[in-house]
Amino acid sequence: AGCSSSTSGSGDSASSKDSKLPAVGATIYKFDDNFMSYVRRAMETSAKGNVNLMLNDSQNDQAKQIEQVDTLIAKGAKSLAINLVDPKAAQTIVDKAKAKDIPVIFFNKEPDESVLQGYDKAYYVGTTSSESGVLQGELIAKAWEANKDKWDKNHDGKLQYVLLKGEPGHPDAEARTKYVVDTVKSKGIQVEQLAMDTAMWDATKATEKMDAWVSKYSDKIEFVIANNDGMALGAISSLEKAGYFSGDKFVPVVGVDAIPEALEMIEKGKMVGTVLNDAKNQGKATIDLATNAAKGKDVLDGTEWKLDDKKAVRVPYVEITKDNIQVGKDAYK
């Protein structure tokens, strides 16, 4: 079964045959990122028959991505679809594209506005990094208000939380960490941070940090906030070991990404909620714009997408709880 993926893993082998089609050069910041793998799939689906999509894996290394852009330009890409590793590096890519008059569609990670304004053929498709934090915060606030009497174990009216952070310096990790707490506070809920530590997006590391926190704070922990679902799952596995989620021992856990495993946990009541990034539409919009650009048409030509004043097509995040779990599941259809 593994073999079939070698072609579907990259739209590229198809590309060499379709060399009459206009070429779109694309970079994904990290190929096996669980969310980006969906965006990629949506891109491949949309690209089929329309453009020759050349996909690259930037392996979470901005320098590598810059080099891939050079390669794509050398290979004659008519437009670029760039999922930045590091959003501040957008200018360098724009400079390269501008020199050859190639349009650039940034997607998923947003460059500074000034960069988009500085090149008439630069656009953005995606969300705002902060939005996932905001939505996660709203989700927490709603759930807390509804269950305060049970969940505020020490009845001090304050929400005592531990936070599992992604890789320090990663724009998503930074934004989520900041906005989730800000949002909860902005809803008038008092919070107290018991512990925060990085688990580098990694479930195993999350389990181990959680082991230590459970041992140290035990029932003082009233909420577990994770920058992504992977770490949330890791935390759950530690909590289960400590006897949570059986009987009436419970602590609410939230994540971001809405990966299938997390949906399952939400259904089982072991997770309170997560935030879905709409992969399908991000991928589709990216290819729609890039295709038009490659063909020299107006980027919105024949599509229903709209640009906001920042030359961006916004694909919203959706918060997922047990109530709208089907929305999450549909994303994997």
Partner 1 sequence: MSTEALKKSGSKDIQKSKSGFSKWIVDNVIYLVLLLLVVGIVVASPDFLSMTNLINILSQASSRVIIALGVAGILILAGTDLSAGRMVGLAAVVSASMLQASDYAYKMYPHLQELPLFVPIIIAMLATGLISAISGVIVAKFHVPPFIATLGMMIVVYGTSSIYFDRPPYGAQPIGGLSEKFTTFAQRGIKLGQYEFPYLIFYAIIVSLIIWVIWNKTQLGKNMYAIGGNPEAAKVSGVNVAKNIIIIYMIAGLLYGFTGVLEAGRVGSATNNTGNMYEMDAIAACVVGGVSLTGGIGTVPGIVTGVLIFQVINYGLAFLGVSPYIQFIVKGLIIIVAVAFDMRKHAKKK
Ligand X SMILES: OC[C@H]1O[C@@H](O)[C@H](O)[C@@H](O)[C@H]1O
Binding site for Mg ion (CB under 5 A): 152, 154, 156, 158, 160
In 3-state terms, the chain is what percent helix, strand and coil (to 5)?
50, 20, 35
User: Which positions ≥6 away from 39 have C-beta within 8 Å?
Assistant: 28, 83, 107, 108, 279, 282, 283, 286
Q: Is 198 in the site for ligand X (CB under 6 A)?
A: no
Nearest approach, Cβ of residue 151 and Mg ion (Å): 8
Residue 285 in contact with residue 301, Cβ under 8 Å? Answer: no
Can you tell me the distance from the alpha carbon of 288 to that of 51, in angstroms, rounded to the nearest whole number? 10
Of positions 48, 178, 185, 220, contacts partner 1 by CB under 8 A: 178
Kindly tell me which of 63 and 146 has the beta carbon lying closer to partner 1.
Answer: 63
Q: Which partner from the list Mg ion, ligand X, partner 1, none does 278 bind, CB cut-off 5 to 8 Å by kind?
A: none
Nearest approach, Cβ of residue 172 and ligand X (Å): 4
Q: Structure tokens of 265?
A: 């946990």
Can you tell me the distance from the alpha carbon of 48 to that of 55, in angstroms, rounded to the nearest whole number? 13
Q: Which partner from the list partner 1, ligand X, Mg ion, none does 83 bind, CB cut-off 5 to 8 Å by kind?
A: none
Site for ligand X in 208-227 (CB under 6 A): none
Kindly tell me which of 38 and 151 has the beta carbon lying closer to ligand X.
Answer: 38
Nearest approach, Cβ of residue 37 and partner 1 (Å): 3
Nearest approach, Cβ of residue 51 and partner 1 (Å): 14
Nearest approach, Cβ of residue 317 and ligand X (Å): 11
195 three-class SS: strand
Question: How many residues form the binding site for partner 1 (CB under 8 A)?
Answer: 85
Can you tell me the distance from the alpha carbon of 227 to that of 174, in angstroms, rounded to the nearest whole number? 9
Nearest approach, Cβ of residue 214 and partner 1 (Å): 8
Q: Is 172 in the site for ligand X (CB under 6 A)?
A: yes
Which of the stretches 140-148, 207-215, 280-288, 289-297 binds partner 1 when contact is defined by CB under 8 A? Answer: 207-215
CA distances from 63 to 69, 94, 200, 216, 329 (A): 10, 15, 21, 41, 36
The helix (H) or strand (E) run that includes residue 161 is strand 158-165
Report residue 83: phi and psi, to 5°.
Answer: -100, 95
User: Which positions ≥6 away from 314 have C-beta within 8 Å?
Assistant: 126, 127, 128, 308
Which of the stretches 70-78, 88-96, 165-173, 287-295 binds ligand X when contact is defined by CB under 6 A? Answer: 165-173
Q: Is 230 in the site for ligand X (CB under 6 A)?
A: yes
